[in-house]
Amino acid sequence: MARSKRYKNQRRVIILRGIKYLLIITALLLALAFVLTKFVFKGGNDKEGAENAETGETVTVSVSETETTPPPEEEEDENIDNKWAMFLVNKKNPLPADYDSRIETKVVFESWREYFLDVRAAGYLEKMLKAAENDGIDLYVVSAYRTIEYQQQNFDNSVQDRVDRGMSYDDAYADTLAEVALPGESEHNAGLALDIMVEEYQNMDDDGFEDTEAFAWLDRHAAEYGFILRYPKGKQEITGIIYEPWHYRFVGVYYANEIKKSGLCLEEYYEQQGWTDGNGKAVKMRGPWDEDDKKNAPAETADPKETEPKKTMAATSYSEQKVTIIV
Protein backbone atom coordinates (compact mmCIF):
# COMPACT_ATOMS: atom_id res chain seq x y z
CA MET A 1 0.00 0.00 0.00
CA ALA A 2 2.80 2.38 0.95
CA ARG A 3 4.68 1.42 -2.18
CA SER A 4 1.71 2.23 -4.40
CA LYS A 5 1.27 5.60 -2.75
CA ARG A 6 4.95 6.45 -3.28
CA TYR A 7 4.65 5.53 -6.97
CA LYS A 8 1.69 7.85 -7.41
CA ASN A 9 3.59 10.71 -5.80
CA GLN A 10 6.58 10.23 -8.10
CA ARG A 11 4.28 10.16 -11.11
CA ARG A 12 2.59 13.41 -10.02
CA VAL A 13 5.99 15.09 -9.68
CA ILE A 14 7.02 13.99 -13.16
CA ILE A 15 3.77 15.31 -14.64
CA LEU A 16 4.12 18.64 -12.83
CA ARG A 17 7.71 18.97 -14.01
CA GLY A 18 6.60 18.20 -17.57
CA ILE A 19 3.90 20.85 -17.41
CA LYS A 20 6.40 23.32 -15.98
CA TYR A 21 8.90 22.66 -18.78
CA LEU A 22 6.12 22.83 -21.37
CA LEU A 23 5.03 26.23 -20.04
CA ILE A 24 8.62 27.49 -20.11
CA ILE A 25 9.12 26.29 -23.68
CA THR A 26 5.78 27.80 -24.73
CA ALA A 27 6.73 31.12 -23.16
CA LEU A 28 10.10 31.10 -24.93
CA LEU A 29 8.43 30.32 -28.25
CA LEU A 30 5.94 33.12 -27.77
CA ALA A 31 8.72 35.53 -26.88
CA LEU A 32 10.71 34.47 -29.94
CA ALA A 33 7.67 34.86 -32.16
CA PHE A 34 7.10 38.35 -30.74
CA VAL A 35 10.70 39.34 -31.43
CA LEU A 36 10.58 37.98 -34.96
CA THR A 37 7.30 39.73 -35.67
CA LYS A 38 8.51 43.08 -34.32
CA PHE A 39 12.05 43.28 -35.69
CA VAL A 40 12.16 41.00 -38.71
CA PHE A 41 8.84 41.08 -40.49
CA LYS A 42 7.95 44.65 -39.59
CA GLY A 43 11.47 45.97 -40.01
CA GLY A 44 11.80 44.34 -43.43
CA ASN A 45 8.83 46.34 -44.73
CA ASP A 46 9.83 49.71 -43.29
CA LYS A 47 12.16 52.09 -45.10
CA GLU A 48 13.57 53.04 -41.72
CA GLY A 49 14.52 50.03 -39.62
CA ALA A 50 15.59 49.37 -36.03
CA GLU A 51 18.56 50.82 -34.22
CA ASN A 52 22.03 49.46 -34.81
CA ALA A 53 22.82 47.33 -31.77
CA GLU A 54 26.47 48.43 -31.68
CA THR A 55 26.22 52.14 -32.47
CA GLY A 56 22.66 52.99 -31.45
CA GLU A 57 22.24 54.81 -34.77
CA THR A 58 19.12 54.46 -36.86
CA VAL A 59 19.73 52.18 -39.81
CA THR A 60 17.99 52.86 -43.11
CA VAL A 61 16.82 49.64 -44.69
CA SER A 62 16.59 49.56 -48.48
CA VAL A 63 13.55 47.81 -49.86
CA SER A 64 12.88 46.17 -53.16
CA GLU A 65 10.55 48.93 -54.37
CA THR A 66 13.46 51.37 -54.57
CA GLU A 67 15.06 49.08 -57.12
CA THR A 68 12.04 48.91 -59.38
CA THR A 69 10.65 52.47 -59.04
CA PRO A 70 12.74 55.04 -60.96
CA PRO A 71 13.37 58.45 -59.35
CA PRO A 72 10.85 61.11 -60.37
CA GLU A 73 11.91 63.25 -63.30
CA GLU A 74 12.68 66.89 -62.67
CA GLU A 75 9.52 68.81 -63.42
CA GLU A 76 9.56 71.85 -65.67
CA ASP A 77 8.74 75.05 -63.80
CA GLU A 78 5.34 75.99 -65.17
CA ASN A 79 6.08 79.64 -64.41
CA ILE A 80 8.81 79.80 -67.06
CA ASP A 81 7.47 81.39 -70.22
CA ASN A 82 9.17 81.76 -73.59
CA LYS A 83 12.11 79.53 -72.67
CA TRP A 84 13.06 79.53 -76.34
CA ALA A 85 14.10 83.21 -76.05
CA MET A 86 16.62 82.61 -73.28
CA PHE A 87 19.83 82.16 -75.26
CA LEU A 88 23.16 83.95 -75.54
CA VAL A 89 24.27 85.95 -78.55
CA ASN A 90 27.76 87.39 -78.32
CA LYS A 91 31.30 86.90 -79.64
CA LYS A 92 31.57 83.45 -78.11
CA ASN A 93 28.04 82.42 -79.01
CA PRO A 94 27.21 83.55 -82.56
CA LEU A 95 23.87 82.78 -84.11
CA PRO A 96 23.49 79.58 -86.16
CA ALA A 97 24.29 80.08 -89.83
CA ASP A 98 20.66 79.43 -90.84
CA TYR A 99 19.02 81.33 -87.99
CA ASP A 100 17.57 84.11 -90.10
CA SER A 101 15.71 81.65 -92.29
CA ARG A 102 14.08 80.08 -89.23
CA ILE A 103 12.31 83.10 -87.72
CA GLU A 104 9.32 85.25 -88.62
CA THR A 105 9.30 88.95 -87.87
CA LYS A 106 6.56 91.52 -87.44
CA VAL A 107 6.40 95.31 -87.64
CA VAL A 108 6.30 96.64 -84.07
CA PHE A 109 6.97 100.36 -84.57
CA GLU A 110 6.73 102.88 -87.37
CA SER A 111 8.31 106.30 -87.63
CA TRP A 112 10.20 107.32 -90.77
CA ARG A 113 10.59 103.57 -91.39
CA GLU A 114 9.30 100.25 -90.08
CA TYR A 115 10.96 98.34 -87.27
CA PHE A 116 10.64 94.57 -86.94
CA LEU A 117 10.86 92.08 -84.06
CA ASP A 118 10.51 88.31 -83.78
CA VAL A 119 6.78 87.68 -84.00
CA ARG A 120 6.90 85.69 -80.75
CA ALA A 121 8.20 88.72 -78.85
CA ALA A 122 6.28 91.39 -80.75
CA GLY A 123 3.15 91.21 -78.61
CA TYR A 124 5.13 91.80 -75.43
CA LEU A 125 6.73 94.93 -76.87
CA GLU A 126 3.39 96.25 -78.09
CA LYS A 127 1.93 95.85 -74.59
CA MET A 128 4.96 97.55 -73.05
CA LEU A 129 4.76 100.52 -75.41
CA LYS A 130 1.05 100.86 -74.66
CA ALA A 131 1.58 100.67 -70.89
CA ALA A 132 4.25 103.34 -71.08
CA GLU A 133 1.95 105.55 -73.15
CA ASN A 134 -0.78 105.16 -70.53
CA ASP A 135 1.73 106.41 -67.96
CA GLY A 136 2.58 109.42 -70.09
CA ILE A 137 5.82 108.01 -71.52
CA ASP A 138 6.18 107.88 -75.30
CA LEU A 139 8.88 105.31 -75.98
CA TYR A 140 10.54 105.57 -79.38
CA VAL A 141 12.10 102.58 -81.11
CA VAL A 142 15.20 103.61 -83.05
CA SER A 143 16.53 100.14 -83.95
CA ALA A 144 15.23 96.58 -83.81
CA TYR A 145 15.74 93.53 -86.04
CA ARG A 146 18.67 93.88 -88.45
CA THR A 147 19.61 91.73 -91.38
CA ILE A 148 23.12 90.37 -91.57
CA GLU A 149 23.79 92.70 -94.47
CA TYR A 150 22.65 95.73 -92.54
CA GLN A 151 24.72 94.73 -89.51
CA GLN A 152 27.77 94.54 -91.76
CA GLN A 153 26.97 97.96 -93.20
CA ASN A 154 26.45 99.37 -89.71
CA PHE A 155 29.80 97.99 -88.56
CA ASP A 156 31.66 99.26 -91.62
CA ASN A 157 30.11 102.72 -91.32
CA SER A 158 31.16 102.91 -87.67
CA VAL A 159 34.73 102.01 -88.58
CA GLN A 160 34.78 104.56 -91.41
CA ASP A 161 33.42 107.29 -89.15
CA ARG A 162 36.32 106.77 -86.76
CA VAL A 163 38.82 106.73 -89.61
CA ASP A 164 37.36 110.04 -90.83
CA ARG A 165 37.95 111.46 -87.37
CA GLY A 166 41.64 110.63 -87.53
CA MET A 167 41.97 107.09 -86.16
CA SER A 168 44.08 104.48 -87.88
CA TYR A 169 42.05 101.69 -89.46
CA ASP A 170 43.19 99.12 -86.87
CA ASP A 171 42.35 101.44 -83.97
CA ALA A 172 39.02 102.33 -85.55
CA TYR A 173 38.19 98.65 -86.00
CA ALA A 174 39.09 97.78 -82.42
CA ASP A 175 37.16 100.78 -81.06
CA THR A 176 34.09 99.85 -83.10
CA LEU A 177 34.08 96.33 -81.65
CA ALA A 178 33.34 97.80 -78.22
CA GLU A 179 30.14 99.39 -79.50
CA VAL A 180 28.98 97.46 -82.56
CA ALA A 181 28.79 93.68 -82.76
CA LEU A 182 29.95 91.78 -85.81
CA PRO A 183 27.31 90.21 -88.06
CA GLY A 184 25.91 87.08 -86.44
CA GLU A 185 27.10 88.21 -83.00
CA SER A 186 24.51 90.95 -82.62
CA GLU A 187 21.27 90.39 -80.74
CA HIS A 188 19.62 92.63 -83.32
CA ASN A 189 20.24 89.84 -85.85
CA ALA A 190 18.21 87.52 -83.59
CA GLY A 191 15.14 89.73 -83.79
CA LEU A 192 14.92 89.98 -80.01
CA ALA A 193 16.77 93.22 -79.29
CA LEU A 194 15.78 96.82 -79.78
CA ASP A 195 17.11 100.25 -78.99
CA ILE A 196 14.53 102.37 -77.17
CA MET A 197 14.76 106.10 -76.57
CA VAL A 198 12.39 109.07 -76.72
CA GLU A 199 11.69 111.26 -79.71
CA GLU A 200 13.27 114.31 -78.08
CA TYR A 201 16.44 112.45 -77.01
CA GLN A 202 18.11 110.04 -79.43
CA ASN A 203 21.78 110.68 -78.77
CA MET A 204 23.77 107.47 -78.54
CA ASP A 205 27.09 109.25 -78.14
CA ASP A 206 26.64 109.53 -74.37
CA ASP A 207 24.68 108.01 -71.48
CA GLY A 208 22.23 110.90 -71.24
CA PHE A 209 19.22 108.66 -71.89
CA GLU A 210 19.57 107.23 -68.38
CA ASP A 211 18.57 110.63 -67.00
CA THR A 212 15.20 110.63 -68.77
CA GLU A 213 11.80 109.65 -67.37
CA ALA A 214 11.60 107.03 -70.11
CA PHE A 215 14.68 105.22 -68.80
CA ALA A 216 13.33 105.36 -65.25
CA TRP A 217 10.06 103.84 -66.46
CA LEU A 218 11.86 101.07 -68.33
CA ASP A 219 14.02 100.34 -65.31
CA ARG A 220 10.88 99.79 -63.25
CA HIS A 221 8.68 98.00 -65.77
CA ALA A 222 10.65 96.42 -68.65
CA ALA A 223 11.01 93.06 -66.87
CA GLU A 224 7.23 92.85 -66.48
CA TYR A 225 7.07 92.48 -70.26
CA GLY A 226 10.05 90.14 -70.62
CA PHE A 227 12.80 92.66 -71.44
CA ILE A 228 16.16 93.24 -69.73
CA LEU A 229 18.72 96.02 -70.01
CA ARG A 230 21.23 93.93 -71.92
CA TYR A 231 24.42 95.94 -71.45
CA PRO A 232 24.33 97.36 -67.90
CA LYS A 233 26.76 99.86 -66.47
CA GLY A 234 30.04 98.40 -65.23
CA LYS A 235 29.70 95.12 -67.16
CA GLN A 236 31.70 95.92 -70.32
CA GLU A 237 34.52 93.50 -69.50
CA ILE A 238 31.93 90.72 -69.25
CA THR A 239 29.57 91.57 -72.10
CA GLY A 240 32.20 92.99 -74.44
CA ILE A 241 29.91 95.97 -75.15
CA ILE A 242 29.91 99.40 -73.50
CA TYR A 243 27.04 100.52 -71.28
CA GLU A 244 23.96 101.10 -73.43
CA PRO A 245 20.99 102.41 -71.42
CA TRP A 246 18.80 102.16 -74.54
CA HIS A 247 19.46 98.52 -75.54
CA TYR A 248 16.81 96.02 -74.38
CA ARG A 249 16.58 92.30 -75.02
CA PHE A 250 13.57 89.97 -74.81
CA VAL A 251 14.18 86.85 -72.68
CA GLY A 252 10.64 86.17 -71.41
CA VAL A 253 8.89 87.48 -68.31
CA TYR A 254 10.17 84.82 -65.89
CA TYR A 255 13.86 85.16 -66.72
CA ALA A 256 13.65 88.95 -67.12
CA ASN A 257 12.44 89.24 -63.53
CA GLU A 258 15.00 86.74 -62.26
CA ILE A 259 17.85 88.61 -63.95
CA LYS A 260 16.52 91.97 -62.78
CA LYS A 261 16.41 90.76 -59.16
CA SER A 262 19.90 89.24 -59.39
CA GLY A 263 21.58 92.41 -60.66
CA LEU A 264 23.56 90.27 -63.09
CA CYS A 265 24.07 90.70 -66.80
CA LEU A 266 23.00 87.84 -69.07
CA GLU A 267 26.50 86.32 -69.25
CA GLU A 268 26.80 86.33 -65.45
CA TYR A 269 23.36 84.78 -65.04
CA TYR A 270 24.30 82.00 -67.46
CA GLU A 271 27.46 81.32 -65.49
CA GLN A 272 25.55 81.31 -62.21
CA GLN A 273 23.11 78.73 -63.59
CA GLY A 274 25.93 76.53 -64.89
CA TRP A 275 24.85 77.01 -68.49
CA THR A 276 28.30 77.94 -69.80
CA ASP A 277 31.67 76.27 -69.75
CA GLY A 278 34.76 77.90 -68.27
CA ASN A 279 35.26 79.97 -71.41
CA GLY A 280 31.79 81.50 -71.65
CA LYS A 281 30.53 79.12 -74.32
CA ALA A 282 26.92 78.10 -73.74
CA VAL A 283 26.46 74.39 -73.03
CA LYS A 284 22.73 74.66 -72.15
CA MET A 285 19.92 76.94 -73.32
CA ARG A 286 21.83 77.32 -76.57
CA GLY A 287 19.15 78.39 -78.97
CA PRO A 288 15.51 79.16 -79.71
CA TRP A 289 14.63 75.56 -80.44
CA ASP A 290 13.51 72.69 -78.25
CA GLU A 291 16.69 71.03 -76.97
CA ASP A 292 14.92 67.68 -76.84
CA ASP A 293 13.60 67.97 -80.38
CA LYS A 294 16.70 67.29 -82.45
CA LYS A 295 14.88 67.66 -85.75
CA ASN A 296 14.19 71.31 -84.92
CA ALA A 297 17.80 72.09 -84.10
CA PRO A 298 19.91 73.65 -86.86
CA ALA A 299 22.08 71.27 -88.79
CA GLU A 300 25.20 73.14 -87.78
CA THR A 301 26.33 76.28 -86.03
CA ALA A 302 28.39 78.77 -87.93
CA ASP A 303 32.08 78.64 -87.16
CA PRO A 304 33.09 82.08 -85.79
CA LYS A 305 36.29 81.90 -87.84
CA GLU A 306 34.27 81.41 -91.01
CA THR A 307 31.61 84.04 -90.30
CA GLU A 308 33.81 86.82 -88.93
CA PRO A 309 34.22 89.38 -91.71
CA LYS A 310 37.66 90.34 -92.82
CA LYS A 311 38.98 93.77 -91.95
CA THR A 312 37.77 95.37 -95.12
CA MET A 313 35.26 98.08 -95.83
CA ALA A 314 33.69 96.04 -98.61
CA ALA A 315 30.42 94.34 -97.72
CA THR A 316 30.64 90.63 -97.11
CA SER A 317 28.36 88.30 -99.01
CA TYR A 318 25.75 86.54 -96.87
CA SER A 319 22.75 84.37 -97.59
CA GLU A 320 19.49 85.99 -98.65
CA GLN A 321 17.45 87.25 -95.70
CA LYS A 322 13.86 86.29 -95.07
CA VAL A 323 12.88 89.82 -94.07
CA THR A 324 14.48 92.75 -95.85
CA ILE A 325 14.70 96.10 -94.15
CA ILE A 326 15.37 99.11 -96.34
CA VAL A 327 17.36 101.68 -94.41
Cβ(117)–Cβ(145) below 8 Å: yes
Among residues 113, 128, 30, 104, which one has the least CA distance to residue 322?
Answer: 104
Among residues 84, 100, 86, which one has the least CA distance to residue 307?
Answer: 100
Cβ(72)–Cβ(244) below 8 Å: no
| d(C-alpha 244, C-alpha 202), whole Å | 12
Q: Please say whether the dihedral angle defined by the alpha carbons of residues 185, 269, 266 and 231, taken in this order, is positive or negative.
A: negative
DSSP per-residue letters across 95-153: PPTTGGGG--EEEEEESSSEEEEEHHHHHHHHHHHHHHHHTT--EEEEE----HHHHHH
Among residues 11, 35, 321, 23, which one has the least CA distance to residue 183?
Answer: 321
Give 266's Cβ-side CA count (13 Å radius).
Answer: 28
Type of residue found at 171? D
Whether residue 308 lies in the annotated active site: no
Distance linking the first and last C-alpha atoms of the chain: 140
Which of 185, 187, 244, 258 does the annotation list as catalytic?
244
| d(C-alpha 113, C-alpha 172), whole Å | 29
| d(C-alpha 174, C-alpha 311), whole Å | 10
| d(C-alpha 96, C-alpha 94), whole Å | 7
Which positions are catalytic? Answer: 244
